[in-house]
Amino acid sequence: MSFLLVLASAALIALILQDAFEAMILPRRVTRAYRYSRLFYRVGWKLWRFGVLQFVPVKRRENILSYFGPLSLLALIASWMLELILGFALLHWSLGTPLHPSGGPRDFLTYFYLSGTTFSTLGFGDITASEPLGRMLTVAEAALGFGFLACVIGYLPVLYQAFSRREVTISLLDARAGSPPSAAQLLLRASQAQNAAAVVPFLAEWERWAAELLESILSYPLLAYYRSQHDNQSWLSALTAILDTYSLMIVAVKDPDPYQAQLTFAMARHAVVDIALVFRIPPLPIKADRLPAEQFRALRQSLGKHGMQLRDGEIIECKLAELRGMYEPFVNALAQHFLLALPPIVAEGKADNWQSSAWTQRTPGIGGLAPVEQGDHFN
């Protein structure tokens, strides 16, 4: 029995160390189905989401949901530490490590206390191992505890830097595509400013942003649970708006740089599919059409009125529907899983985040940055 306990405790220690290494340090996707951190987030998010949907008022849900990302990271680190302490306590207990003072108890709680003070390097010294094997285990645990905490804490700035880089481009979409971002607003604002080519310089930037988003979530899946600063913004809405915009540009808009638009679309679609694979979320078709035929015709007319021409013909609508079918089921599944709202392709002209404050509902529009006027709405 003691031999089996030694093997079990050693396996527990190795399993937690491997999981922490894969979750925090290893810069690639781990395809193994059974991982502690994956189970932790799968169960934790389901419980958190259920509690929010059942007991939190609608107006406060987004705020409470935003707590999950940071809190879950702290809880995950704490659970790793607790299980490592438990593993070393089981190892001492199964080996029957002699303790000093010799007259004291040698039950599991005593070994757990010894393991906890050793791992955290408190070093009280009231209970210590009295023989070489126990002392070696104590030294190994102290070194492991110190290194583990330093490694994990050292990677926290890396996570927040990745989060900050992600949010910069999301914020840039505010003035260009509205809040939440939409493809129609992005194209209409560019055409209203008589500068349709202004969208082109951002093609490469949004391609790079989609690649960075994919890399960051592949390396640190927990970043997908970190929500943006504004309720009407998210990494998923930005990614969906980019896909919507460049679907239109590839198929319908007479764009000056179709090749770069195709590259951006390909990278964004790659990000959507791989993120769904990371979380094992199957695609989920959207029930309602996000761009009905009448909206598309109205969009074509409005863009044409401002100087941006769209190609004609029923085949254009078929090709656009085909492109949208390549990513909409995936973004819809991700939206359902993370409780994020998908942005509309054609949105009403509402005040952007930069136009609102706690004292004023809306500031006057500035040239082409103003939301589309009432005559350009599509219902």
pLDDT in tens, 187-235: 888 777 655 566 777 778 899 999 999 999 988 899 999 999 888 889 9
Residue 303: pLDDT band by 50, 70, 90 thresholds? confident
pLDDT of residue 358: 58
Placement of tokens 């988003």 in the chain: 213
Tell me the domain boundaries of the chain.
2-23+31-130, 157-376
Phi, psi of 128 (to 5 degrees): -140, 160
pLDDT of residue 376: 44
Residue 359: pLDDT band by 50, 70, 90 thresholds? low
pLDDT in tens, 219-276: 889 999 999 988 888 999 999 999 998 888 888 777 656 788 889 999 999 999 999 9
CA distance 25 to 159: 11
At how many degrees (to 10) do helices 314-325 and 235-251 cross? 150
Res. 362: pLDDT tops 60: no
pLDDT of residue 374: 36
Torsion angle defined by CA atoms of residues 266, 258, 245 and 184, in that order, rounded to the nearest 10 degrees: -170
Residue 165 corresponds to which tokens in the numbers above? Answer: 């880089």
Placement of tokens 């039950």 in the chain: 107
pLDDT in tens, 316-357: 888 888 999 999 999 999 999 999 999 999 876 666 777 766
Torsion angle defined by CA atoms of residues 245, 250, 254 and 260, in that order, rounded to the nearest 10 degrees: 90
At how many degrees (to 10) do helices 201-219 and 132-177 cross? 160
CA distance 54 to 116: 38
Percent of the chain with pLDDT over 90: 45
